Amino acid sequence: MIGIVIVSHSKQLALGVRELAAQMVQGKVPLAVAAGIEDPENPLGTDPIQVYEAIASVFSDDGVLVLMDLGSALMSAEMALEFLPETQQQKVYLCEAPLVEGAIAAVVAAAAGRDIQQVIAEARGALVAKATQLGIADISPSFVSSDSLTTNAELPTKQIQLIVSNRLGLHARPASQFVATAARFQSQIQVRNLTRNTGLIRGDSINQVTTLGVRQGHELLITATGPDADEALAALQALFATNFGEDNTTLNSPPVFQHQITPPTHGELSGIAASPGVAIAPVVHYQPTPITITQCHVEDVETEWQRLQTAIHTAQREIQAVFSQASIQIGDAEAAIFDAHLLFLEDPVLLEAAHQRILEHHINAEAAWQAVVDEVATSYHTLEDSYLQERADDVIDVGQRVLRLLVGNAPTELNLSKPAILVATDLTPSDTAGLDPTKVLGICTTSGSATSHSAIIARTLGIPAVLGIGAEVLHLEDGTLMALDGESGKAWVEPEPDTLGVLEAKREAWQTSQQQALAIAHQPAITRDGQQVRIFANIGSVADAQVAVAGGAEGVGLLRTEFLYLDRTNAPTEDEQLAVYQAIAQTLDTRALIIRTLDVGGDKPLSYLKVAPEANPFLGSRGIRYCLDHPDLFKTQLRAILRASFGHQIKIMLPMIASVTEVHAAKTILGEVQTELSQVGIPFDAAMEVGIMVEVPSAVVLADRLATKVDFFSIGTNDLSQYIMAGDRTNPRVANLVDALHPAVLRMVQQTVQAAHAAGIWVGLCGELAADPLATLILLGLGLDELSVNPQAIPIIKQTIAQLTVVEAQAIAALALQQDSADQVRGLILNQ
């Protein structure tokens, strides 16, 4: 007999649905409930373990149908499947049918002896009778229309009209914030661009919001229908009032230089100036592996839908990894581009359209996905505004990633043995974010624009770029000498000696100006009244270490060791880790190197480490918790770090410390490794300092006790902020709550600094807040001894510190602690 599982946030609701459904068939159909959580104060929620147990209790070879209410219920159901044996997973079907009507229709069909596909069909068609009675002819979803949206007539609709002040309108980043905010509320949010006289669209769809074509000065009508309509509109209005956190006075655009290249010369090609600087190097072509899609008929539509969902989930994990690395390379502000990529994969309208194509047309997942992605891209291309048209590149980037996973293509890798100019048809934002500026000296493409996200990333990385060059460059042989000038938008193939001389002179002038800036960056960061603050770098590779040293870093305040564990099927060996740690230490010479031990979990899952799926991984087995649960893995890393410490200034930093007990446990294991190395005569730094990351509120509360057990603190404001504000910083729907300039976070920083100094240890800060020049004044006033930032931010942070005094910084910091919000803190700083 087919089993039915009801998954709901509310246990009372689920039990009521089960009772109603059971009465329809007199208990003939196995029914199980997985609903609510064991929290008396907040019982609403879902638990994947409950879902797994419910499925197991009604499982049969005839199949199990799982019906869910909304939100995380689907995620819990998906996670529950991973606990089942593969043979059973294939017989469990997650169904999007309405919970109440779908359950009743499903049990009746199951009791009548229908097979699983017929039961699913009955559940999905459960609203037809109701729709017919109400006179609704078509209840199917559509990407381009909001006609299918229904509202509750018993609940009033509230509305506001707002003027958009952002210089570039609702482009990807503010649109992402809008959608993430709208999705936080139960109310149905709809938007109309009054200036362009559009129809209403869904406010929780990133693509529909972006394709409204909203520019600076446009007026929007925003409606909210639901129990929290007022709160939803107030939150959205706050985004507009704060300009979505953007500064209209500056744009990431190429600076203007005095040097100019004049009349056309031999081999000269004209294009678009996208990123300043001169590059002279051999050409190397970059061509991603083409993806060929063939549409075919499928009978098992549910399997195709599951294939697409699996590919989307894998793509989400890949994008999270790109975002993490991009945050190091280019900073959080520009890395936020990838927040929009994640929202694209969560767009309910897009997913509904793909699902509908698979179900109604019985086509394979690849063809259905390609079709809906093409529709979305076309909707961007048809916009009048050229800047918004270019957002189609992001859609295609994400779409291709999912297609690659569906067809099983390996990612295209770019392995350069020596520096080169990259020639390509185009580069996606993901492609560009992964480039190594020490190897890719310039970019030359036949398409693209200066306002594309790829161009913005290239400028941030400092890679000269000329886009929109003629297609003839695609036929050049690898190794052909090319020169390009990213300011004038020109390129030269095998340039004449005279042209080469002018370009080399310009390049030297550029390099001289950069060296002058670096000379300042290599000086200590000292305030006007004589206090020095150490400026370290956050890195995630040997190449990052080289960039950090070149950029003036006085040491490495955070080596993220997770990069050693990525893109492989097993953990790195002790010798593999040793080689990397030694290479970085040698690059740093006598500078300090703080190595954070493995911090997996949360937003950094590694499948081969067998971390069981968790309902909330940020509150689960991550950081030091995981390492203490896997002492063999932990010891391997500690041995490598200790061996590398001999003759170098290496320190160990333990992540995610929440208690004194964890510090004792970690230091006990460290002592065991030290003893083992001593017994076999392997040298190491016996006096190596051990510190902890302060990123959990309990660590702040216990800071006075923890400070007596370790040699230093490093505050991780990225995680500390999300735990204080109870908001997942990787979840676009609540990420706007996580702001390290919030007074609650700043008070935690102050408390930590005071406890550390009272115990006679130093304290640094390695979160993204350290790289924000706006925050430097307050951090200096709070008494931080060290700031660790992404390498690109070192010059500006040092320059900012040199303009301040400790006395004025302390006064502003005291005022900041008395504010009510992060926006008020920013206003306080800007008014200085």
Spatial distance between the Cα atoms of 514 and 276, rounded to a whole number of angstroms: 12
> Three-state SS string across 155-222, please?
CCEEEEEEECCCCCCCCHHHHHHHHHHHCCCCCEEEEEECCCCCCCEECCCHHHHHCCCCCCCCEEEE
311 forms beta bridges with none
List the catalytic residues: 453, 766
State the Cα–Cα distance between residues 185 and 187, nearest whole angstrom.
5
141, 351 Cβ separation under 8 angstroms: no
The Cα–Cα gap between 444 and 422 comes to 6
- Picking from 636, 638, 644, the residue whose alpha carbon sits closest to that of residue 572 is 636
Q: Please tell me the distance from the alpha carbon of residue 118 to that of residue 153, in angstroms, as a whole number.
A: 33
Give a three-class secondary structure readout of 79-137.
HHHCCCCHHHHCCEEEECCCHHHHHHHHHHHHHCCCCHHHHHHHHHCCCHHHHHHCCCC
First CA to last CA distance, the chain: 72
**Which residues share a beta bridge with 7?**
34, 68
3-state secondary structure of 727: coil
Beta bridge partners of 179: none
**CA 374/CA 640 separation, integer angstroms:** 49
Is residue 149 within 8 A of residue 190, CB to CB? The reply is yes
Phi, psi of 762 (to 5 degrees): -90, 160
Nearest to 431 by CA among 566, 338, 346: 338
Do 594 and 349 form a contact (C-beta atoms < 8 A)?
no
By the 10 Å C-beta count (0-12 exposed, 13-18 middle, 19+ buried), 680 is classed as exposed
Beta bridge partners of 646: none
Contact 812, 778 (CB under 8 A): yes
The helix (H) or strand (E) run that includes residue 812 is helix 806-816
Tell me the residue length of the chain: 832
Tokens of 656: 């995610």
- Kindly tell me the number of DSSP H helices and DSSP E strands found in the chain: 33, 25
As beta bridge partners, residue 440 has 420
Nearest to 771 by CA among 538, 541, 563: 538
In Å, what is the CA distance from 417 to each residue of 231, 414, 438, 571?
56, 10, 11, 26
**Secondary structure element (H or E) that encloses residue 537, with its range:** strand 532-539
Amino acid identity at 335: A
Q: What angle do CA 314, 320, 324 make, to 5 degrees?
A: 150
Instruction: Specify which residues 538 forms β-bridges with.
Output: 558
Nearest to 349 by CA among 208, 182, 221: 208
Using a 10 angstrom Cβ sphere, with 0-12 exposed, 13-18 middle and 19 or more buried, the burial of residue 354 is buried
As a whole number of angstroms, the distance between CA 374 and CA 358 comes to: 15
- CB of 663 within 8 A of CB of 623? no
